[in-house]
Amino acid sequence: MKNLFIYHLVANVSLILYLYPWMEGYISTEWFILLAFLHAFVFHPLVDYYRLLALGKIEKDDFAKMWKWGTLYRFKYYNSLTFGA
């Protein structure tokens, strides 16, 4: 996932997939909060891990570090993730 556009597409389309039903009233606020929590603390760190791995910024052994500090480890590479720098 070296392409910056593909990374943002994968990371943010899933957000839209549960944001839209909540705004239209198809799912309750409790489900929306649960899905937002899962997105922020499970799905997005996985996507970030694979992007950083593809860019060569981290090793395969760093997988556990994505959750060790409550997903704060990935913010060390914020510029690489967001801007591709």
Please give the tally of structural domains in the chain.
1
pLDDT at 85 over 90: no
Domain hosting 57: range is: 4-82
CA 25 to chain CA centroid, nearest Å: 25
| pLDDT tens, position by position, 16-57 | 898 999 999 999 999 999 999 999 888 988 898 899 999 999
pTM: 0.83
Tens of pLDDT, residue by residue over 59-79, are 998 888 877 766 678 888 888
Which helix (H) or strand (E) is 51 found in, with range? helix 44-55
